[in-house]
Amino acid sequence: MQRIGLVLRDPLIANKKVMVEIRGSSDAGWHDGDLEFKKGYVSSAFASLSEITALFHPLDSPGGTSIHVPTIYLTPIQPEEAQDHALVLRGSHKGDHVVLRDSAGPGVWMVSKFQDPVEFTIDEESLVKLYHV
């Protein structure tokens, strides 16, 4: 899956607590690579003339310090199992909060909108896992 970049600024996706992993920061020397492979969620994104940064909340320190991370180092985490909550990134359901119900074949999930029993299929590449508690 591609880096999340401009997607976080899309009004249908912004502020939805999408889950990401920091990747590529060690090669670039950003924070000396100390945050490489750290997983968390993004609560908001900010654009400047030179880059887009996201407010990243690490999963290993709930309620701890959040950090602004350039989005070039953020890779979306895909949902992996039934009952995972996800956000649709593209297509007619873009921006919808869905719940994975069952596999519908390789690379395809049967999902339903959150708190809605009507199911439909969607390509897993169109999904990013949501931080949902």
Same domain? 9 vs 65: yes
Structure confidence by residue, pLDDT tens digits, 77-126: 999 999 999 999 999 999 999 999 999 999 999 999 999 999 999 999 99
pLDDT, position 1? 45
Do 10 and 60 share a structural domain?
yes
Same domain, 59 and 92: no
Residues 13 and 71 in one domain: yes
Structural domain range at position 25 = 5-76
Instruction: Give the amino acid at 94.
Output: K
CATH assignment of the domain containing 22? 2.30.30
Question: Which pLDDT score, from 0 to 100, does residue 29 have?
Answer: 87
Q: Which pTM value belongs to this model?
A: 0.89
Burial 94-104 (b: 16+ CB within 10 A, else e): eebbbbbbeeb
Structural domain count of the chain: 2
Residue 108 burial by Cβ neighbours in a 10 Å radius (0-12, 13-18, 19+): middle
Mark whether 68 and 91 lie in a shared domain: no
Claim to verify: residue 62 and residue 91 sit in the same structural domain: no
User: Based on the domain organization, do 39 and 96 belong to the same domain?
Assistant: no
Same domain, yes or no, for 65 and 125?
A: no
If asked whether residues 69 and 92 sit together in one domain, one would say: no
56-69 confidence digits (pLDDT tens): 999 987 777 899 99
